[in-house]
Amino acid sequence: METALEVKGITKRYKSGRGVRDIRFDIAKGDIFGLNGPNGAGKTTLLKIIIGLIRPDHGSVTIFGNNTTDQFEQAMKQVGCMIETADSYDYLSAYDNLKLSARFYPELPRTRIDEVLEQVGLAPYKKEKVNGFSLGMKQRLRLASALLSKPKLVILDEPTNGLDIEGIVNFRNTIQQLACEHGITFLISSHMINELSLIAGRIGIMQNGQLIRVGGVNELVKPGITLEQYIVSQLHTSKEGDHDDHRQYIK
Ligand SMILES: Nc1ncnc2c1ncn2[C@@H]1O[C@H](COP(=O)(O)OP(=O)(O)OP(=O)(O)O)[C@@H](O)[C@H]1O
């Protein structure tokens, strides 16, 4: 099975002493990988390192065989991302917002904008101004923008934050469809573990800058306890001693 993303020994220490430490995991092509952990665990830092917004102190990131240190452009050609709220232009239509994003990819055919609008379910609203959009629709528009360049790996940071139930379900269905029908690999960070477990094949749990568990959803959930209960118990176990001693990787 082809590897979409390989993260090896990534460490980044901010001046505050916080950051991430010795993170390693990989994602197979076509998988949906969920990254979970409490506030401040280091999820956003890790995602920013993967897409080259933050330079790590140590370690390497390889995307479809391209190392982001030596082959940054090649690696990034495969990636689409939604990290931090990049606001859309409210007074423009969904279509015109995407036309602006498409300027970064001069080789894309014009038809690509309609394709991504279709993929995220915004085609019927393409001429409507974004200021009338719900938060869920704005998130879909951001996803459409991330999909423009036909990425093979899509990285989403807290994509369902602030969405209502319907927005969450719609967003989840869209991701699943994109993974199934287009073979897109996803790395999704979210606080909402139950939400992640419905969509992800594998999950990584971060705490205090470390990846304390990685495993398939079915491996992590034990009989009689929910994934939520399992994670809370792991966070407690991991807090009790030196994280290096307690870290386990479930293959
Ligand atoms: N630029 C920075 N300088 C110093 N410390 C930082 C910086 N960015 C993040 N941190 C700290 O690093 C730690 C990890 O932050 P990060 O934003 O990666 O966590 P997170 O898991 O994404 O949290 P959240 O779920 O709240 O978004 C936190 O303690 C945070 O305060």
Label residues 155-184 b or e (16+ Cβ within 10 Å = b).
Answer: bbbbbbeebeeebbebbbebbeebbeeeeb
CA of 167 relative to ligand 1 center, distance in Å: 26
Ligand 1 pocket, 121 CB below 6 A?
no
CA of 19 relative to ligand 1 center, distance in Å: 7
Ligand 1 pocket, 39 CB below 6 A?
yes
Ligand 1 pocket, 141 CB below 6 A?
no
Given the CA of residue 45, which atom of ligand 1 is nearest to it? 18
**Distance between CA 168 and CA 140 in Å, rounded?**
11
Answer with the residue of higher pLDDT: 188 or 220.
188
Ligand 1 pocket, 37 CB below 6 A?
yes
pLDDT given for residue 250 in this prediction: 37
Question: 118-144 pLDDT, tens per residue?
Answer: 999 999 999 999 999 988 899 899 999
Query: Residue 225: which pLDDT band, with cuts at 50, 70 and 90?
Result: confident
Residue 145 has pLDDT above 60, yes or no: yes
Q: Which helix (H) or strand (E) holds 153?
A: strand 153-157
* Residues 169, 142 contacting (CB under 8 angstroms): no
Both tokens of 92, joined, read 């423009």
Question: 189-208 pLDDT, tens per residue?
Answer: 998 888 888 899 999 999 99
CA of 49 relative to ligand 1 center, distance in Å: 12
Ligand 1 pocket, 43 CB below 6 A?
yes
Q: Which residues contact 48 (CB under 8 A, 6 or more apart)?
A: 54, 83
Both tokens of 250, joined, read 């479930």
Ligand 1 pocket, 14 CB below 6 A?
yes
Residue 54 has pLDDT above 90, yes or no: yes
CA of 250 relative to ligand 1 center, distance in Å: 25
pLDDT given for residue 45 in this prediction: 95
**Distance between CA 61 and CA 42 in Å, rounded?**
16
Both tokens of 11, joined, read 């460490």
Residue spans in the chain of domains classed CATH 3.40.50.300? 3-78+153-246
Mean local confidence (pLDDT), 108-115 = 92
Query: What SS3 class is residue 128?
Result: coil
From residue 11, give the alpha-carbon distance in Å to each of 71, 76, 204.
20, 20, 16
Ligand 1 pocket, 45 CB below 6 A?
yes
Beta strands in 89-128, from DSSP E residues, in sequence order: none
Ligand 1 pocket, 18 CB below 6 A?
yes
pLDDT given for residue 147 in this prediction: 94
Q: Which residues contact 85 (CB under 8 A, 6 or more apart)?
A: none
Query: Which CATH code for domain 3-78+153-246?
Result: 3.40.50.300
Given the CA of residue 18, which atom of ligand 1 is nearest to it? 12
What's the mean pLDDT when you consider all of the chain?
88
Query: Residue 165: which pLDDT band, with cuts at 50, 70 and 90?
Result: confident
* Residues 197, 83 contacting (CB under 8 angstroms): no
pLDDT given for residue 240 in this prediction: 60
* Residues 130, 94 contacting (CB under 8 angstroms): yes
CA of 231 relative to ligand 1 center, distance in Å: 20
Give me the percent of the chain exceeding a pLDDT of 70: 93
Residue 42 has pLDDT above 60, yes or no: yes
Residue 115 has pLDDT above 60, yes or no: yes
Mean local confidence (pLDDT), 204-225 = 86
CA of 240 relative to ligand 1 center, distance in Å: 22
pTM: 0.89
**Distance between CA 232 and CA 226 in Å, rounded?**
10
Lateral strand order in the sheet of 19-28: 19-28, 3-13, 58-63, 66-67
